[in-house]
Structure 1
């Protein structure tokens, strides 16, 4: 229909079909033809998608045009998602030159055959060669030509770097320890280690592009697994040979000023790194010994997003007003509760940001310091130097603080010094691991804090969770046919927001704090005073079309 057999797509025939279906105007078609004269090597659909549209024309991006063409030629359409592809397997099936020459990309292999993405549905000469060399049936899908090029280039370049690194570091640990010995640290970025440097830069850059909050590099018996945490869920990204995993781990430990030769003990590190793209990135590193080597987890912080604000966290309305009233207190304890990964630290930093001023002395004790802030005096717990949360708070109290943030109240000693700091005229912010706001009271009792001290110091507790929000591009609705949302990749979700349950202490609640106080009585009293639970907050978000009931149940169960 749009080309002779074994030929490339014909631009004129494509334009005629689009004009006949009123998908573009004659003026736009003429502009495309003029553009084609200057860019004859560009895919026809890319030329069409690149032209501005008249107001009366339907909006059509490259993905929608590719889907339209796939329907016309009777081929399945697939939106390529690199997180859903096995990049190292794809690059191992065909050569980079063959893939580039024909504009194809293998995307899946199973017992039924090999699935190959192409943006030229009438070109078939490569099928015979590929079927003969691989000995399997070929299944074709239509895909976005830009994505085919980008993913193909990334896959083959990555495979080349991995192969080079695997060859250079096959000697194993002895080579790395020699490479990172004190006398040779200056040589670490030399040409012989260029493959590892490139792999680390790619790993960090790709994590930023995919909006990852954490990078997990996990050693296994045969291979190392690279996974990214995106919107709270982990996604497999790549599988490295064991020697390459070891080399990448050592490179990152070196950058984070960790002891590269020490692999028997957990370590923490921090680094600020400038990527080849010119973007700065800040990371917190944590290593953990496993039977197959060190597992490394990197927490990513974008320096451009260092300044947190409540709106970005999803804290708004009456809950925000009441939270700001709590922050205006001159003394007392304010707690943020929730499981790991619920956004407690972000809320605390946003609160410190709100309190920061030249007239206020803000001090923190953290394990480790989550992110460096120029307006805050930050102290890190160091067990080897006998610097714990408790001893750190005692030291901070001699620094004339106005506000103290304690990373976590995890034992009786820390709870007691936090109480003493609040009693002596300081505002104390901290976190607890409890499921809801009212449970913070019983948790303090379990830690041995006397009831009268809780009554005297606790001014408010906020429990929180993070839920994935529905994609603003498709609002969570499946696209017609085989269409794929380019923003959320048909996962329905893109980004996260907070659910908040705020309990402000009142005289009536303080009267409920007796030895062995009943948690249900506390909850009933808090509800009578207007507390809205996490589940109720989630229901409000569902009603507003921000998320789904399933997502609320997932995080609030």
Structure 2
């Protein structure tokens, strides 16, 4: 166990830096010491003291310089200036490298093994500076890339022909045992980081001279720093992903689809895998499907919209259609509705392509066209199974819609989706599919169109100024302009200014007047005019309200609603 004096130093330093509970911190450090865990990490992980303030105070107490600059200078060209294994193993980062001198950032000045390794490896005069852990780790990530600590091991594994053929489990558990395999270690780290960054997708893309990895976060693709020469590992990395997804690793000319079941820190995660052959090799798209806790309150609805939705969910029968383009959150909205209705008194059955999230207490069927289990065939079977509530993943054809209407007219509550730009467009879409107007007007209760907007980071958002003329042009109420914000950028949001997404929507309810318009085959302009007269709030206006609440920005709302206006 480390000498009590080191714990004393750390506790005193934390107290000087503003730690309100030094006794609790001491206890946490003693527990960490008993488990042979690094004490500096224990201080930061305790969250009992501000990290930057603590390390600044520690530098003062030890008489060492404190690095004030950000990570940019330290990370730039890092892999070419400093050995990756040395930096990553000891979590140190060079700030300056000259011919005979090097300045190194550390957050653990008490790590003698790091000092010895640097002395043996570099044979240079070393100047040490203290920096916060988050700054050093970010510099290492930016400079060397995700999984860089495994890079040399991966190359060694590839050269020795170690394919890790023992991976044949139905579920791959990402734990310490898997860390022994170098290829799996790299793959695991990519998954871990993607989940930490709240990514919904991972893209592994071979380029002409490189291998690119990108995460989709809040709807935007972000390139991930990767070690140099990652292209050398393209075959082993993609083969590993295909093995995990139970795909044919020998087939490289045809697209393949598969699924990976992961368990990370006790949480099950499903990964949909799609490979696409390209001129530079196979590209792999990975959709991460975490077991979300679907909750109506989490949709961020205003009181009026929430009341409208709850009234629709309380209906004994009818069709409720959620519309929007791919990636607009339609499936998540439907899952939220089903979760709200999921009681012991209701039998809920779904047919989906594919089943994206598994819901306890709900019977879920996956479409399998190869055995003629289509939406229409599955829906017929469901109606014979005494359901109360039915969810159809998508209304793709006339036959499916007609069966769903039959189900709604015989006492079932049916949910589904359509690909349209706005709510009223759902009516035109059904008419275009050959559905009779009276069948639409008598069975559909509501069309709900939606889009996803990025939500502002609550830590760094800043007041925004917009010219009155611009606000008038876009139809934004001038009385709300003093409440607008714009993105900032901080460590919490990865300097994007946004964290998370929220649905903005419009709901077109089926009124008697709208039924008459549909039955008389009114055009889309007349239908929308009637819906607005009935009280429908346009999606853009709904989004403007969210912008005025400081939840998102005007620019986000304008971008996602451009096609619906």
TM-score class, shorter-chain normalisation, is: 0.7 to 0.9
**Mapped pair 1:485 → 2:490:** yes
* Aligned with 1:475 (options 461, 470, 474): 461
Equivalent residue, structure 1, for 2:352: 366
Instruction: Return closer, same or farther for 1:262/1:350 CA change in 2, 3 Å cut-off.
Output: same
- CA distance in 2 between partners of 1:355 and 1:504 (Å): 20
Equivalent residue, structure 1, for 2:262: 273
* Aligned with 1:228 (options 202, 211, 215): 215
Runs of 5+ in structure 1 lacking a partner? 1-10, 53-59, 134-139
- CA distance in 2 between partners of 1:551 and 1:543 (Å): 12
SS in 2 for 1:487: coil
SS in 2 for 1:513: helix
Q: Is the 8 A contact 1:49 1:65 kept in 2?
A: no
Q: Is the 8 A contact 1:49 1:62 kept in 2?
A: no
- CA distance in 2 between partners of 1:297 and 1:199 (Å): 17
**Mapped pair 1:246 → 2:251:** no
* Aligned with 1:90 (options 78, 82, 85): 78
Q: RMSD between aligned alpha carbons?
A: 4.8
**Mapped pair 1:300 → 2:280:** no
Q: Is the 8 A contact 2:375 2:392 kept in 1?
A: yes
Instruction: Return closer, same or farther for 1:423/1:522 CA change in 2, 3 Å cut-off.
Output: same
Equivalent residue, structure 2, for 1:237: 224
Equivalent residue, structure 2, for 1:105: 93
Runs of 5+ in structure 2 lacking a partner? 1-8, 60-64, 110-114, 123-127, 465-487
Pairing 1:4-403 to 2, within 5 Å after superposition: 61-63=50-52, 77-78=69-70, 90-96=78-84, 99=87, 104-105=92-93, 144-149=132-137, 152=140, 155=144, 158-169=147-158, 185=168, 194-239=181-226, 241-275=230-264, 277-303=265-291, 305=292, 307-403=293-389
Q: Is the 8 A contact 2:75 2:140 kept in 1?
A: no
Q: Report the alpha carbon displacement of residue 445 of structure 1 after superposing the two structures with TM.
A: 1.0
Q: Is the 8 A contact 2:421 2:449 kept in 1?
A: yes
- CA distance in 2 between partners of 1:164 and 1:318 (Å): 58
**Mapped pair 1:555 → 2:547:** no
Instruction: Return closer, same or farther for 1:411/1:358 CA change in 2, 3 Å cut-off.
Output: same
Equivalent residue, structure 2, for 1:502: 507
SS in 1 for 2:494: coil
> After the TM superposition, which segments of 4 or more aligned residues of structure 1 sit over 4 Å from their partners?
23-28, 42-52, 64-70, 73-76, 100-104, 106-109, 114-121, 140-143, 153-157, 183-186, 188-193
Task: Report Cα offsets for 1:220-271 as digits up to 9, x if no partner.
Answer: 2333211111111111114473352332333233223333333333333233
- CA distance in 2 between partners of 1:256 and 1:45 (Å): 35
Aligned length in residues: 499
User: Which structure ranks higher in relative contact order (CA pairs < 8 Å, sequence separation ≥ 6)?
Assistant: 1
Q: Is the 8 A contact 2:323 2:419 kept in 1?
A: yes
Equivalent residue, structure 2, for 1:419: 405
SS in 2 for 1:404: strand
Instruction: Return closer, same or farther for 1:465/1:106 CA change in 2, 3 Å cut-off.
Output: farther
